[in-house]
Each structure stands twice: as structure tokens, then as C-alpha cells.
Homo-oligomer: A and B are copies of this chain.
């Protein structure tokens, strides 16, 4: 490993004491040093290629310029954009991202991973685990650890959070279907134990009601899990019970995939006989036949905002006026799967 230049060497090269060099190099304290001396130090530092040792600095200042991010299941492509957004934002302030993925299903694993991050003295945390309520959040808040939640509900959370606005997203979908002339609309919801499943279900009820669409319980089917097979089963049950339905709002793209199959199994055509919509707008599903209409959530922006919020917390001494929560507005990607009512 290349031998690094230390502050002392820079100081010697500039003919000053370490402490003076340190102050000259540091934006904040630069003004207590003579301008000419500052110039000399800066020049020496540049010439020698000096880069401060973050460990030494961190040891003294108790800041690592590192932020930890806890991801449940990093293989889920959803998190790519969130990470990218956060990383870009953090880089601006000179922070780096320590990634740790935890097993969502195992709450102890999540706790362990968080502990590791804290032991490493990360300055703050971005938590993307998705369980609807777990004690970890409360624990972080109690320990006064700067943390931001991302992509999970804020209800009664003591921590600030950044989430997509599911209510608005479902609104876009329902509105669009109504515009297409649909009046008998069904819903394949996600599991109600998850914040997204529950929230989108509520939003569906709320929007259909306010738009004057009649929805009774027979038009709604709850899936056990966000998987294609579950979507297939739910959509099948739904269509069997309510063959008059002309449009299905799915809580998630995978469920929508299942719905495609269910519609086809009944010998109907997706898009013309039955309109289907998804949620998340994951890549490649626009390649399907017909391409899937879906709600696009600004995941990258979620990452950016979460990081930005954390930066703000860190620079203002963590104590916000109270937990801030942001809901980011989604957009609708209209494609062939949501044609007009036949």
C-alpha cells in the first residue's frame, strides 16, 4: 500500500507547525491563520499529495464521515436506485455509504446488522427494512442515533421517513381507469400486514368512493404475499366471483403478472377484455405483451431525499423540531394493459 503523506510532513515542507498546517487546511479554522501562510501550506499539501487520514481525524473528532444503510434483501432491484440516490447525495458532502443487508424475516439479524454499523461509528443510518412495525425503530430513536427511514411507513414513527405517496399513486390509477370508462373495478391487494399492502388497499377504497365507483367486498381480494403465484390465485378467485369486472388494480407488479395469467386462463385478453395495472413500474415489464400500466415510484429521489435529510440532521445536531416525513409523488406509466372499457 502506498505510503501516505502525513500532516507533519506537510507542515515541515511549509515550514510551520503541525497545528498551523491543520488550521490552514481546515475551512473552518482557516481565518485564524495568516493568508500568506495558508497559501504556503496549501501549496505544500498539494505538491505532496496530502490526504488526511480519516481514522486519525475520526478518532479525534468522533465523526467518521460514513453513513450506514440497512437493506433488507439487496437482491431486490427496488433498492438499486435508492442506494444510487443516497450515495450521490452523500458524496456531495464527503460522506461514504456503508452497505449492510439483513434478512428481513429475521428481526434479530436486522438488529445485529444495525449494531455492527453503530459499532463502526457511522455518523448516521438510513434504514430501509420494511416490516410494518418493529422495536428497532423505537430503539434507535431512544438511543438518539441519527437515522432516517426510507420506503416504509411513518405512522407514529419517532424517526423521520421518506416514502412514496401510495394514496396519490392509487389515485392516479383509479382516475385513469375511470377515464377509460371502467366502472366495475376490482382490487388485488398485497398482504395487509405490510404497510404497502394495507395503505394501497385503503387508498383504493377511498378513491373509488370519492369517484363514485361502487366497490363492495366481493371486488377485493387480499394476496398472501407479493408473488406472481399469489397474484394468480387472487385474481382467479376475484374473476370467478365477479366476472363482470373490467379492470383490476393490483398492489404490485408481480401481482399484476399473476393477474395476467388469470385473465388468460379464462380465455380473455388483457388490456381489452380486462384492464390490469401494477405498482412500482419495475424495469422490463414494459416488454410484456401487452406492456404493463404501472405506477412509477421515484425511488432514486427517495434515496436522495433520505440522504439529504440525514445530512441536515447531522449538521444541525440531530435535534429536529420533530420527525419530518416526506411523501414523494409518483407518476403513472400508461401502457397497453389498461385499455378503454370494451
Contacts and interface: CB of A to CB of B under 8 A. Distances in A.
Interface string A294-306: 0000001000000
A66 B68 CA distance: 13
B80 A84 contact: no
Given A257-B287, A287-B257, A84 B101 contact: yes
B81 A75 contact: yes
A291 to B, nearest CB: 12
B84 A145 contact: no
Contacts of A194: none
A59 B4 CA distance: 13
A98 interface: yes
Interface range, A side? 35 or more
Contacts of A32: none
A74 B83 contact: yes
Contacts of A75: 77, 80-81, 84, 300
Nearest to A119: B51
Contacts of A58: 55
Interface string A122-146: 0000000000000000000001110
A97 interface: yes
Contacts of A198: none
6 contacts: A53-B59, A53-B121, A74-B83, A77-B283, A80-B80, A257-B284
In the A-B complex, the 6 residue pairs with the smallest Cβ-Cβ separation, listed nearest first, are: A77-B77, A75-B80, A55-B59, A55-B58, A99-B99, A51-B119
